[in-house]
Every structure is written in C-alpha cells, then in structure tokens.
C-alpha cells in the first residue's frame, strides 16, 4: 500500500511540473501489450512511454530471451533517476523504450529455438527473429502515441544478437541498430566454441539456464561451491546426458550431434546470413568479454567489406561482457583504466542514436572508437584496424625468451607434458558457478597469470624490459610450430604484459602478468573446421590462431611475455589427446597424457604477429 501511494505521489508531482520541464523527461509510464506477429503468434511487450512530453520521439527496442517484464505495475510511473545508467541520458531527452520477450520465452507465445537461423531468407513463409523484429516495429509505429515514425534496436549479448538479426531485412521504419557483445558464429569464436574447442562450463550452465524452464532463468543445482573438481569428476562429455540432462535440452543435444563446423552451425552464423549494412550499425565489444569477444570484431570486419554508404561503425573498450552498461567502468579486476569508460560510451551511444533517429547533427562519427589500455586513453581511427600499424614478428626462443629477432640455431624446441587428469585451470580457484554468487567470471580474463606460470605444463617466453613504449593496435595472430605424441591436442596462447619487478606507480602490481589477449585452438581443426584430422605423432605442424583485436600500450620498463599451454579447464573441455571423431562420445579410457613440443629454431619458428604502431 505504501509503495502504491509513493508511486502515485511521484506521478502527481510529474503532472504538476510538466509544463516547467517540457524539454526534459522526468518520468516514464509502463504499458504492456501482446503484439501479433505475421503467423498469429503474440509476443509479450513492455513499453515505457515518456510522461507528458510534448515532442514526438523515436522508439528504441530490445528483444530478449531473459524476461522482458519489469517490477512495475501497469500504468505506473518511474522517475528517470531510477532508470539504469545505460538508458538514463537517452531517457531524459525523450525516447520510447520497448522490451519484448522472444517467441517461446517467458510471457510470449510460440516455441523458442536458441540462435534461430533466419529461415525467411530461404522460405518467405517462415518466421524468425528478423521477421518478428520487423512485425514488432510495424505494430509499434502504428499503435504507440507520440512516436516520430523512426525506430532503433539495440542490446547486449543475446539482445545484441537479435539487434543483428533485425538488419538482415530491416523494416522501413528501422533506422539504426547497435548490436553489442553480439555473438556472430557459435563454433568459430563465440559463447559455445572457440576455434572448435568446446566451452564446457559455459555451455553446460547456459543451456540449462535458458532451456530448463520457459518462464525462468534456471541455475543448475550444483552440490558444491568450487566447481573445478565437480567438472573434473564429471568425466567424459557423454556423461552429461547420461547423468543429468537425459537428452532433454535441445541446445546440449545440438552440441553432441554437431561436433564439427557443419551445416547446422553455418546456418546460424551471421557471416552467412547478413551480407552488408542495410542500415547504420554500431558494433560494440569489450577486449575482455568473457562470452562474446569475437562477434563484434569479426561482424564489423565482415560488413565493412560492403559498406559503400559509410553505415558501419565499431566501438571497443576495456570491458567484460556488457560492462559499458554499468554505472562505472573505471577498472576491471586489479586493472585500473583511470576514467569512467562506461559513462564515455553511454554518451557516445546517445549521440549516435540521436543522430540517426532524431536527425541531430552530431558531426563526424569516427569509423572506430577504441580505448587504448596501458596508456588509458580513448582513440579514434579512420579505419579499423588502423592502416598505420606495421606487422612485426615476436619469436619465441628455446632459452625461454622472446624477441623480434628470428632464432638462428638449426635446432631448438621446448616441450611439456599435458595430462587430462590434471588440467590447467583457466582462472584462480575457486571456480564458482558462472553466474553464481561471488563468481569471478566477469574478471577472469585480466587475472594475474602467475597463478599458473610455475606449472610444468605451462611454458613462458619473456622479452627484455622495454626501453620505450610499444603500442600494439589491431589484430594479433599466433603462428605455432608444434607437434604432439598424441593424435589430438589443444593449444592456448597468451600475450602478456609483465609489470616491473617494482612498480613505482602501484607497488601491489609489481610483477603482475596482465593477459592482454588469450585464445585456444583445437588442433584437429588446424586444416579445416569442417573435416578434422588427427596429428601424426611427432610430426611438426603449423597452427595459426587469431588472438583478436587489441589496442594496448606496453609501457617502458614492462616486459612482453608469450605463454603456451594445452588445457584451460573447465571453461574448455578436456581434449582426450587421442583423436576421437566425436569428443562428446569419448570414453574415460580415451584420455591420455601427451608430450607437446613447441619449435623455436630458424627452420621451424613459432611467433606472434603483432601490429605495431609507427611513431
């Protein structure tokens, strides 16, 4: 009763002062609708309307599988000051905000399909997330009061994925899209696989969260807090269905039935479904996104090839998954960025949508706006990656060093033994449930790598201290020359910024091993993601690993380190190291120890290709 009175009082206050504040929105009113799609399915939709605002405003849409409703009663008012920071600056100057449950989730009708392909591109009678977005826009433009006839769509993660879906065949009223932390290809580099390596803990927990119940986000009922040993004791992947899921979760069954890059994954891939930016697009991503780091980068690159109208833009920052929506983005873990990077982005986002949806002349929008870590400054570029960067090869040497000088010895290598029974943890223990209380999931990609650097199955190559700053901006690639005594192997490569032994700026950061970028590759896919092949034991092979785009200044006095290992558990499932056509069908007896060799001599050279900015 008290809450009702308080909300009513707020609404009356807004009414009294509307005339005095008619150029600034103070309150929003909640309305809900069941919006019909072309096949008759109705989708639950929450609309937040600016109260007593005299101007026609655009519509900003988000489409979600996580529950669109908010804890506010129908026709109730909420102060702009109580809205999340992500919306607040846009809300003050007038937008209609819309959240919609995707079909088959929460209060929407229909059947949910994770990462539903764009069926209508091949069969116009079919529906998908693109047709649903278009139908929603048409209905909203026609039925919502005081809209200016223009709509935009945006969102983070799965909401970013639906924002990307919407541009494949956009509604005429849809004028701009900002897919943020959107996955692009679920086998090559987002959510469920990285270069074919299965992301066990994330895939296991996420599929349960989304598919266990229609009207809930479910947490798997783990029996313990630290899950490292739980996942280890789980054994082979075939035990998941046998012990827990019983073939009940469609997403998990898809993982099992499609272990290679087949038509199933290709039909889902945005690289095969969207060819060019039909409307303005602002891709947003984080260098330390623990879920969808790859998607924004490769989708921007893909669309840029056919961006003849200058509609394709990218923003990259020093963020975990969606951190730019948070009130403050001044740090991540122990890494300090010395400014509120989230607020910077939120203002940029407002200007971008104001330009495309309100016709405001905000001036020139940079092709790329990318935070530079190390120096902690925002940079803008006419092209991304910048053309001024010069590719330099950072070689590893058998004495544990790395340098820009190629090895001169005819023989040289470093070996280690990888044991699936004793995998290298991907982050410091305890490893909590991904979204559980106290989880380190958001910050693990900047954790100090000293926690594994002394293990015998992790090898490190360290350069001399830098005599001047070295700025690496663009795409980093690892070229590994390796062999294994097994017939399959994973390789994890890290580019690390090692802080001085005594850091005079922050003593507690002395010796910190900051992972600038890291990635894994499942060796069986070194020739083809579609047709995996075994290794010939002892035969040197080249593996090229995309370590993604970075913008980092290695400061004077710091050192560059390259670190290599062959397990990253349990974020990546254990490779049996014996070639099995489908790892999801491997038996316990298939898991074997193997010696992995990294070659570093003048004939077989392992190196990182770094895009170094010229002075």
**Would 474 be classed as within a structural domain?**
yes
212 and 173 assigned to the same domain: no
Residue with tokens 């290992």: 565
Q: How many residues does the chain have?
A: 615
137 and 200 assigned to the same domain: no
122 and 262 assigned to the same domain: no
**Would 591 be classed as within a structural domain?**
yes
Strands, sheet with 513-522, edge to edge from the N-terminal-most edge strand: 458-462, 559-565, 490-498, 513-522
**Would 279 be classed as within a structural domain?**
no
CATH number, domain at 230? 1.10.3020.10
At what angle are helices 250-257 and 200-211 packed, to 10 degrees? 140
Distance CA 29, CA 52 (A): 10
Distance CA 276, CA 299 (A): 10
Measure CA 236 to chain center: 27
**Would 581 be classed as within a structural domain?**
yes
Q: Is 127 helix (H, G, I), strand (E, B) or coil?
A: coil
Report the 10 Å Cβ neighbour count for 373: 23
Contact 46, 100 (CB under 8 A): yes
463 and 599 assigned to the same domain: yes
122 and 67 assigned to the same domain: yes
**Would 559 be classed as within a structural domain?**
yes
Distance CA 543, CA 613 (A): 25
Contact 132, 43 (CB under 8 A): yes
CATH number, domain at 5? 3.40.50.1820
Last residue of a domain, one of 156, 180, 204: 180
Q: How many domains is the chain partitioned into structurally? A: 3
126 and 168 assigned to the same domain: yes
Structure tokens that stand for 439 in this block: 């989880």
**Would 63 be classed as within a structural domain?**
yes
Q: What is the pLDDT at residue 11? A: 43
Q: What is the pLDDT at residue 245? A: 97
Sign of the dihedral through C-alpha 19, 20, 21, 27: negative
Sign of the dihedral through C-alpha 405, 407, 409, 410: negative
124 and 55 assigned to the same domain: yes
Q: What is the pLDDT at residue 183? A: 97
Q: What is the pLDDT at residue 528? A: 98
457 and 500 assigned to the same domain: yes
Report the 10 Å Cβ neighbour count for 80: 19
**Would 365 be classed as within a structural domain?**
no
> Structural domain of residue 597, as residue ranges?
389-613
CATH number, domain at 462? 2.60.120.260
Q: Is 369 helix (H, G, I), strand (E, B) or coil?
A: strand
Q: Which residues contact 361 (CB under 8 A, 6 or more apart)?
A: 355
Last residue of a domain, one of 158, 180, 202: 180
Last residue of a domain, one of 147, 180, 213: 180
209 and 172 assigned to the same domain: no
Measure CA 216 to chain center: 23
Report the 10 Å Cβ neighbour count for 574: 27
- Class of residue 283 by CB neighbours under 10 A (exposed 0-12, middle 13-18, buried 19+): buried
Distance CA 136, CA 13 (A): 33
Closest CA to 157 of 107, 226, 217: 217
Distance CA 264, CA 492 (A): 26
DSSP designation for 507: G
**Would 499 be classed as within a structural domain?**
yes
Closest CA to 52 of 17, 78, 98: 17
Structure tokens that stand for 517 in this block: 């970028």
Which ranges of 405-492 does DSSP label H, i.e. alpha helix? Answer: 450-453
Q: Could you tell me which residues are beta bridge partners of residue 484?
A: 596
153 and 210 assigned to the same domain: no
Distances (CA, A) of 319 to 246, 253, 372, 595: 37, 32, 12, 36
Predicted model pTM: 0.94
133-169 burial, b at 16+ Cβ within 10 Å, e below that, comes to bbbbbbbbbeebeebbebbbbbbbbbbbbbbbbbbbb
202 and 139 assigned to the same domain: no
DSSP designation for 600: B
Q: Is 43 helix (H, G, I), strand (E, B) or coil?
A: strand
The residues of the chain scoring below 50 in pLDDT are 1-21
| Beta strand pairing call for 513-522 and 42-50 | unpaired
165 and 216 assigned to the same domain: no
Q: Is 419 helix (H, G, I), strand (E, B) or coil?
A: coil
Q: What is the pLDDT at residue 363? A: 75
Q: Is 430 helix (H, G, I), strand (E, B) or coil?
A: coil
């Amino acid at each position: 009763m008290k809450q009702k009175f308080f909300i009513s009082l707020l609404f009356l206050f807004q009414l009294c002062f509307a005339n005095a504040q008619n150029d600034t929105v103070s309150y929003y009113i909640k309305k809900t609708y069941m919006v019909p799609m072309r096949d008759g399915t109705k989708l639950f939709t929450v609309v937040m309307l600016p109260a007593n605002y005299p101007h026609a405003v655009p519509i900003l849409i988000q489409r979600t599988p996580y529950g669109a409703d908010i804890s506010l009663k129908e026709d109730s008012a909420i102060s702009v000051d109580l809205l999340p920071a992500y919306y607040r600056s846009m809300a003050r100057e007038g937008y209609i905000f819309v959240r919609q449950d995707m079909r088959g989730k929460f209060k929407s009708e229909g059947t949910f399909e994770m990462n539903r392909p764009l069926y209508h591109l091949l069969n116009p009678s079919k529906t998908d997330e693109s047709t649903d977005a278009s139908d929603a826009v048409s209905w909203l433009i026609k039925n919502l009061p005081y809209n200016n006839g223009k709509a935009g769509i945006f969102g983070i993660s799965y909401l970013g994925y639906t924002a990307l879906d919407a541009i494949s065949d956009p509604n005429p009223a849809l004028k701009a899209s900002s897919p943020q932390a959107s996955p692009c290809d679920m086998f090559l580099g987002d959510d469920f696989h990285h270069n074919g390596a299965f992301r066990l803990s994330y895939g296991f927990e996420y599929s349960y969260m989304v598919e266990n119940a229609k009207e809930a986000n479910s947490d798997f009922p783990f029996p313990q807090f630290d899950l490292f040993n739980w996942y280890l004791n789980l054994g082979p992947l075939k035990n998941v269905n046998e012990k827990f899921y019983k073939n009940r979760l469609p997403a998990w069954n898809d993982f099992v039935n499609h272990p290679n890059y087949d038509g199933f994954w290709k039909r889902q891939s945005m690289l095969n479904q969207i060819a060019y930016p039909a409307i303005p697009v602002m891709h947003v991503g984080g260098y330390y996104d623990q879920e969808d780091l790859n998607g924004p980068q490769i989708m921007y690159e893909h669309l840029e090839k056919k961006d003849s109208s200058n509609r394709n833009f990218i923003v990259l920052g020093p963020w975990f998954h969606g951190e730019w929506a948070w009130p403050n983005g001044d740090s991540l873990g122990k890494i300090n960025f010395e400014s509120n990077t989230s607020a910077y982005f939120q203002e940029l986002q407002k200007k971008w949508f104001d330009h495309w949806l309100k016709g405001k002349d905000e001036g020139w929008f940079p092709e790329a706006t990318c935070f530079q870590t190390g120096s902690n400054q925002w940079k803008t570029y006419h092209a991304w990656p910048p053309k001024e960067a010069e590719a330099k090869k950072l070689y590893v040497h058998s004495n544990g060093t790395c340098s820009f000088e190629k090895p001169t010895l005819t023989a040289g290598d470093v070996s280690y033994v990888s044991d699936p029974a004793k995998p290298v943890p991907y982050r410091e223990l305890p490893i909590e449930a991904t979204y559980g209380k106290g989880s380190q999931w958001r910050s693990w990609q900047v954790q100090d790598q000293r926690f594994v650097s002394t293990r015998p199955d992790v090898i490190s190559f360290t350069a001399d201290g830098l005599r001047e700053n070295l700025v690496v901006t663009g795409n980093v690639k690892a070229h590994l020359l390796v062999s294994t005594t097994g017939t399959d192997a994973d390789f994890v490569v890290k580019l690390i910024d090692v802080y001085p032994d005594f850091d005079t700026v922050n003593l507690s950061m002395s010796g910190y091993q900051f992972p600038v970028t890291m990635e894994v590759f499942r060796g069986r896919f070194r020739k083809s993601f579609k047709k995996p092949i075994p290794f010939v034991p002892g035969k040197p092979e080249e593996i090229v690993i995309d370590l993604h785009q970075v913008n980092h200044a290695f400061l004077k006095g710091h050192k560059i380190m390259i670190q290599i290992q062959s397990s990253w558990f349990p974020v990546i499932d254990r490779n049996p190291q014996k070639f099995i056509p489908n790892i999801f069908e491997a038996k316990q007896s298939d898991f074997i120890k193997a010696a992995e060799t990294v070659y570093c001599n003048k004939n077989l050279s392992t190196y990182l290709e770094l895009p170094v900015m010229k002075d």
